[in-house]
Amino acid sequence: MSNNPSPCPLLDLRERYGFNLGNLEQAAGLTHIVDMNEHPLARIISNLPIRRSDAEKILVGLKQLTGVDYHLEDLAFLVEE
């Protein structure tokens, strides 16, 4: 895999690397939120913006699960300004 992966949605990454969203939530150190309208992973899947701090945690979790150092520019995450 190249050092600069092409933009790829979160669900494609999940399928490619074989992790589940619970694994990512744990690896990212995200607080479990029952309300799916507020959960960062559910918001990404729904193409809704997330907080930058949550996006950065998710990038760390993705690196732990995939071994790839993704950046916000690589992924289709909408980040709140």
Which residues span the domain enclosing 70? 10-74
1-52 confidence digits (pLDDT tens): 445 444 457 999 999 999 999 999 999 999 888 888 899 999 998 889 999 9
Domain-located, residue 56: yes
In a domain, 1, yes or no: no
- Whole-structure pTM value: 0.84
Q: How confident is the model at residue 78 (pLDDT cuts 50, 70, 90)?
A: very high
Whether residue 42 lies inside any domain: the answer is yes
Q: What counts of helices (H) and strands (E) characterise the chain?
A: 4, 0
Neighbours of 24 (CB within 10 A): 23
Best CA proximity match to 48, nearest among 56, 40, 60: 40
- Structure tokens, 79: 């980040």
Token pair listed for 1: 């895999």
Q: How many independent structural domains does the chain possess?
A: 1
